[in-house]
Amino acid sequence: MSNEAVLHTNVEGAITHDEHHDEHHEHHHHETFITKYVFSQDHKMIAKQFLITGMVWAVLGGLMSVLFRLQLGYPDSHFPFLENILGKWWVQNGQITAQAYYALVTTHGTVLVFFVLTAGLSGTFANFLIPLQVGARDMASPFLNMLSYWFFFSASVVMLSSIFVETGPFSGGWTAYPPLSALKDASPGSGTGMDLWLIAMALFVVSSLLGGLNYIVTILNLRTKGMSMTRLPLTIWSLFFTAVLGVLSFPVLLSGFILLIFDRNFGTSFYLSDIYISGVGALPNEGGNAILFQHLFWFLGHPEVYIILLPAMGMVSEILSVNSRKPIFGYMAMVGSLFAIAILAFLVWAHHMFVTGLNPFLGSIFVLLTLLIAVPSAIKVFNWLTTLWRGNIRFTPAMMFAIGFVSLFISGGLTGIWLGNSALDIHLHDTMFIVAHFHIVMGVASMFGMFAGIYHWYPKMYGRYLNNTLGYIHFWITMVGAYLIFWPMHYEGLAGMPRRYYSYSAWESFKQFGGLNQFISTVAMIVFSVQILFLLNFFYSIWKGRKVTTQNPYGSNTLEWTAPIRPGHGNWPGEIPEVHRWAYDYAKDGREFIPQTTPVDPNEANH
């Protein structure tokens, strides 16, 4: 009996399989350009669609940050050429307008958090790695998987279109707090821009739900024979918890949006009370509460930061182990800490709301729960370091980015402990310190995880290698640049410099940071241009890169390296391989690596 048969007919024989699984087999029915590249149901193609859409957004989002850093670094300079390119709404007298500045910051945040580091990251790697690493022909439902991408695509189109409307995109921050998000007259971006923002985000929630359900079910139901949960590579565990977080937290955001839509369009006052808008007058709304939205938002918002971070953690664990030629240290502790993080992620949201007038007693409970997250985080860090310890390290670009991730996670995690204390947070909240903290621990760190994943699995994705030299250049400039950009922001924040300000010229006390801001902006531009270098490497190598000639170029244990160099739809030409051991038998019994498909030798040592 083939694995395929075991997999899709139930053991008890009570349940027969749904018909679409049959088509995963050999028989290649004719694939047109449309079914292969556009409305593809192959998880590998969908992964690439997510990746490339995510890359487009990363460039746009990155470009936005360069523009607003221009304003922060060079508030007195004029760039008339920008006016010619972007037009009067965005740039006047060669300077970014205040309205454009807020629109840029908001769109930058939304796009990078949701479109790049959620869809672009877990969309890409959950799709690519789950079936290949658990030993399945495809996702449980390839059709819903395809829909998941196309909902993301529609969300992207709507979000993109919001940039071009006359009144500009939404400009009230990625957190979309009311009243700026709830009142169409509150700011130019609060009108059409916010309508489009909400539509795009609602589509995004649907996409993330369809994707997440598929990832969870595939991991639970479609593991190949012998692949028990404790033999799964850590990538799969992390993608599993990521999907669980998404399935349980995005619906709450959706509820928040539903109430917001009614406040915007149907005269309700869920989030509104006693408001006066100059030019419009006093509003009749009474009885609502803007803080309610913050609760609903951060119930998603905090899990969201882990939705962004966990896939990076999983890939880094895998890459560190493979390239240290050592088993991951503390596998079960790694799984346990992922689990602990997933639970705690739901219990700490109010640490974003310490200064909203939250009851200090309640605040102290959230302080405790927040600081508890440091425990599983530290377990992970120690396990990564002990995996590296005395390893036979191969410094591939993927490995460099993985090590960079660990460094960034430590640096950013430590400032999290400052922020988690509600008393310290009174001073630090809404300052550049926050910006520094979350960019290092979430933004850049997860980007590093994503780069590590791309460099590592690129040969599996395209059957060719990326150029290594460009990879090292990319790594070093990004690594040094990221610290140079974000480290100084801690000092600005400690000095009280608020975030989300268009101009600081009104404060004598912040003049001292003029030079520093200039420096940060300059480095930001350099780092951005290095990302373009990476993109060139990426697209050039798809067609012209060095070809992969061996099935398992890294000497890896996981299942994706038992598939053909360029796997077709269905992944394995014959039967799906059977698994006999965990994914981390490196340097065991004098052998460098033992793939998961190798049966256990009776004389073998226990791990």
Partner 1 sequence: MATTTAMATAAPKYWSGGKSPYNVEYGKLMMWLFLMSDAFTFGALLIAYGTTRFSANGWPNPNEVFNKYPGGANAPLVFVSIMTFILIISSVTMVLAVQAGQQMNRKKVAFNLVLTILGGVAFLSCQAWEWTTLKLNEHAWWGHNPFLNSNGTVGHQDFTNFFFTITGFHGFHVFSGVIINIVMLIMTLTGFFDRRGHYLMIEKAGLYWHFVDLVWVFVFTCFYLI
| Residue numbers at the binding site for ligand HEM (CB under 6 A) | 175, 305-306, 308-309, 351-352, 370, 373-374, 377, 413, 416-417, 419-420, 425, 428-429, 434, 437-438, 441-442
3-class secondary-structure state, position 329: coil
Give whichever of 369 and 516 is closer to Cu ion, judged by the CB atom. 369
CA distance 248 to 299: 10
Please report how close the Cβ of residue 420 comes to ligand HEM at its closest, in angstroms. Answer: 3
Please report how close the Cβ of residue 380 comes to partner 1 at its closest, in angstroms. Answer: 24
Cα dist from 454 to 170, 461, 506, 559, whole Å: 32, 9, 44, 17
Pairing of strands 591-593, 91-92: unpaired
Give whichever of 7 and 313 is closer to Cu ion, judged by the CB atom. 313
Show the tokens assigned to 541. Answer: 């190598």
Give whichever of 2 and 84 is closer to partner 1, judged by the CB atom. 2
Give whichever of 249 and 323 is closer to partner 1, judged by the CB atom. 249
Please report how close the Cβ of residue 57 comes to ligand HEM at its closest, in angstroms. Answer: 17
Strands, E, within 173-246: which ranges?
Answer: none
177 CB-contact burial (10 Å; exposed 0-12 / middle 13-18 / buried 19+): middle
Give whichever of 41 and 387 is closer to partner 1, judged by the CB atom. 41
Site string for Cu ion, 243-282 (x = CB under 5 A): ----------------------------------------
Q: Which partner, Cu ion, partner 1, ligand HEM, none, binds residue 226 by CB below 5 to 8 Å per kind?
A: partner 1
From 43, 108, 302, 474, residue interacting with Cu ion (rule: CB under 5 A): 302
What is the binding site for partner 1 (CB under 8 A)? 1-3, 6-7, 10-12, 15-19, 135, 140-141, 144, 209, 213-214, 216-218, 220-229, 231, 247-252, 254-256, 258-259, 262, 266-270, 285-289, 292, 295-296, 299, 575, 578-579
Q: Given phi > 0 = left and psi -120 to 50 = alpha, else beta, which region is 466?
A: beta
Show the tokens assigned to 556. Answer: 């890896």
Give whichever of 23 and 578 is closer to partner 1, judged by the CB atom. 578
Question: For residue 187, which of 175, 199, 196, 178 has the smallest C-alpha distance?
Answer: 178
CA distance 96 to 86: 10
Q: Which partner, ligand HEM, Cu ion, partner 1, none, binds residue 10 by CB below 5 to 8 Å per kind?
A: partner 1
Give whichever of 420 and 567 is closer to ligand HEM, judged by the CB atom. 420
Question: For residue 107, which of 60, 150, 157, 54 has the smallest C-alpha distance?
Answer: 60
Question: For residue 61, which of 530, 535, 528 has the smallest C-alpha distance?
Answer: 528
CA distance 584 to 570: 25
Q: Which partner, partner 1, Cu ion, ligand HEM, none, binds residue 438 by CB below 5 to 8 Å per kind?
A: ligand HEM
Give whichever of 295 and 325 is closer to partner 1, judged by the CB atom. 295
Binding-site size for Cu ion (CB under 5 A) equals 1
CA distance 222 to 251: 26
Amino acid at 514: G
Q: Which partner, Cu ion, ligand HEM, partner 1, none, binds residue 425 by CB below 5 to 8 Å per kind?
A: ligand HEM
User: Are 476 and 407 in contact, with CB atoms under 8 Å apart?
Assistant: no
Segment interacting with Cu ion (CB under 5 A) among 92-100, 297-305, 473-481, 581-589: 297-305
Cα dist from 105 to 71, 120, 496, 601, whole Å: 11, 20, 20, 58
Applying CB under 5 A, which residues contact Cu ion?
A: 302
